[in-house]
């Protein structure tokens, strides 16, 4: 079920695009990949593993494709007549070590509080969680940052553009988010370690200047025309969002995932059995993480008009609040948070639109059709949220009374 339609975006994505196979989907297709054939790379991984970890001898390496920012590998290590599999991450060349250390500190804290759905970091023999090496072949940075994790089992069923979860999976995903928020209590970031990106209500006011600079780079591709056509409404949405800053003051701030979508969860028998990609995590409003989850999980990704699915929206929100009511360190959304949830949905959507635009205009050879799908979706949702604000407020208020 959808509420109405949206006339402002171009409704139909190009038919050549296959939803759910985008680079940002982060779906691991390891089973389709051959073993690494690059002897120099394999030797570099062997030295990395055997010189820094007390795990045994490397037997083979296999790339896990589908990630967007980082490169990922499954590595098998033999010791004491056993072969164990681990997850090796090579961080993006632009990764900042203090941000990586923030991610690792949060993951360790979550596990210490009983959140075992995220993969544990495997420490080096010296206790460090990050290994810096000279850059391998085709790595643009001056230094390569690596980390080793336990391997998360489970199935990669969905992505940020493929969101047809079962009702049980929708409810389970919301409950996992609540548990994550509960287990973040007491987190103290190590000195000098943090995310560079500002908190959301400090970040939103910077996007007008960012988008103006991107518009200067626009040509005559489909994405350029769509962006130019909607530039003024986007700027108005940014201004409306920034004007709400005072309303968010005093809301609960916690460690958040900040990229909570179906493609970052692993499933088995309709149950979430793993969560990954914490490299966008930071301290911010709890409400922002919930709103971002609702935008990601309940968006429509097909040839119909843009929008959120009210039935799934209600299921996700209700499941989150019910789970919070059972935990000690996180409560259901407060009245203040309920009041500002709908505006935060628009802010969360603008946050994702920033990724669409920034990545398109900073990529050397972007796929115009693929990014058109992303931009068209988020621009369409921006307009849809404006038109259906009252209906969504009614849904949220009803949940607050139930």
Q: Cβ contacts of residue 13 below 8 Å, gap of 6+? A: 19, 303, 372, 373, 376, 377
Query: What's the pLDDT score for residue 348?
Result: 99
Query: What's the pLDDT score for residue 303?
Result: 62
Query: Strands 271-275, 82-90: parallel, antiparallel or unpaired by DSSP?
Result: unpaired
pLDDT digit string, tens, across residues 286-315: 999 999 999 999 999 876 667 999 999 999
Query: What's the pLDDT score for residue 65?
Result: 79
Q: Could you tell me where the beta strands, DSSP code E, fall in 280-336?
A: 282-285
Q: Quote the CA–CA distance of 91 and 40 in Å, as a whole number.
A: 19
Which of the four CATH numbers 3.90.1200.10, 3.30.2230.10, 3.40.50.300, 3.40.605.10 does domain 156-401 have? 3.90.1200.10
Query: What's the pLDDT score for residue 6?
Result: 45
Query: What's the pLDDT score for residue 30?
Result: 39
- Within a 13 Å sphere around the CA of 270, how many CA atoms are in the beta-carbon half? 8
Helix (H), strand (E) at residue 170: helix 167-183
Q: What is the mean pLDDT of each run of 10 residues along the chain (402 residues)?
A: 44 31 39 56 95 97 81 95 96 93 98 97 98 86 93 93 96 99 97 95 98 97 98 98 97 98 96 95 98 97 80 97 98 97 98 97 95 96 95 85 60
Helix (H), strand (E) at residue 255: strand 253-256
**DSSP line for 260-272:** --GGGEEEETTEE
Q: Quote the CA–CA distance of 292 and 127 in Å, as a whole number.
A: 34
Tokens standing for 321?
């609040």
Give CA angle at 354 (63, 312), nearest 5°: 80
Q: Cβ contacts of residue 289 below 8 Å, gap of 6+? A: 177, 181, 254, 256, 257, 258, 260
Tokens standing for 171?
């409810």
Query: What's the pLDDT score for residue 3?
Result: 46
The domains of the chain are located at: 30-150, 156-401
Q: Quote the CA–CA distance of 307 and 283 in Å, as a whole number.
A: 28
Query: What's the pLDDT score for residue 144?
Result: 94
Which of the four CATH numbers 3.40.50.1980, 1.10.220.10, 3.30.200.20, 3.40.50.2300 does domain 30-150 have? 3.30.200.20
Query: Strands 82-90, 144-150: parallel, antiparallel or unpaired by DSSP?
Result: antiparallel
Query: What's the pLDDT score for residue 40?
Result: 87
Q: Cβ contacts of residue 301 below 8 Å, gap of 6+? A: 19, 161, 162, 163, 377
Give CA angle at 214 (284, 287), nearest 5°: 15
Q: 74: closest CA among 108, 47, 49?
A: 49
The domains spanning 30-150 and 156-401 adopt the same CATH topology: no
Helix residue ranges, H only, 18-94: 39-52
């Amino acid at each position: 079920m959808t509420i109405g339609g949206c006339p402002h975006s171009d409704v139909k994505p190009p038919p050549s695009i296959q939803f759910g196979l985008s680079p940002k989907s982060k779906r691991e297709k390891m089973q389709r990949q051959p073993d690494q054939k690059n002897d120099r790379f394999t030797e570099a991984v062997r030295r990395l593993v055997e010189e820094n970890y007390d795990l045994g001898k490397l037997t083979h390496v296999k790339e896990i494709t589908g990630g967007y920012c980082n490169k990922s590998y499954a590595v098998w290590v033999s010791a004491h007549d056993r072969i164990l599999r681990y997850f090796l991450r090579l961080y993006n060349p632009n990764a900042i070590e203090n941000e990586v250390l923030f991610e690792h500190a949060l993951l360790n804290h979550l596990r210490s509080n009983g959140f075992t759905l995220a993969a544990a970091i495997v420490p080096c023999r010296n206790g460090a969680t990050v290994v810096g090496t000279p850059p391998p072949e085709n790595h643009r940075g001056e230094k390569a940052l690596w980390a080793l994790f336990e391997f998360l089992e489970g199935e990669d069923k969905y992505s940020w553009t493929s969101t047809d979860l079962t009702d049980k999976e929708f409810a389970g995903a919301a409950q996992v988010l609540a548990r994550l928020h509960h287990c973040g209590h007491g987190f103290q970031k190590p000195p000098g370690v943090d995310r560079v990106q500002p908190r959301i209500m400090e970040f939103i006011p910077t996007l007008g200047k960012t988008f103006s600079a991107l518009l200067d780079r626009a040509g005559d591709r489909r994405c350029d025309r769509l962006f130019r056509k909607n530039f003024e409404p986007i700027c108005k949405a940014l201004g409306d969002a920034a004007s709400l800053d005072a309303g968010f003051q005093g809301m609960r701030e916690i460690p958040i995932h900040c990229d909570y979508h179906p493609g970052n969860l692993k499933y088995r028998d309709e149950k979430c059995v793993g969560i990954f990609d914490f490299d966008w995590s930071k301290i911010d409003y709890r409400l922002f993480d919930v709103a971002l989850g609702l935008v990601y999980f309940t968006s429509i990704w097909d040839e119909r008009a843009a929008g959120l699915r009210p039935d799934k929206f209600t299921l996700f929100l209700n499941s989150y609040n019910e789970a919070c009511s059972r935990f000690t360190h996180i409560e259901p959304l407060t009245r203040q948070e309920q009041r500002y949830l709908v505006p935060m949905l628009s802010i969360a959507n603008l946050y994702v639109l920033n990724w669409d635009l920034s990545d398109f205009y900073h990529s050397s050879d972007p796929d115009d059709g693929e990014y058109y799908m992303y931009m068209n979706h988020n621009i369409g949702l921006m307009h849809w949220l404006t038109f259906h604000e009252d209906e969504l407020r009614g849904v949220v208020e009803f949940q607050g009374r139930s």
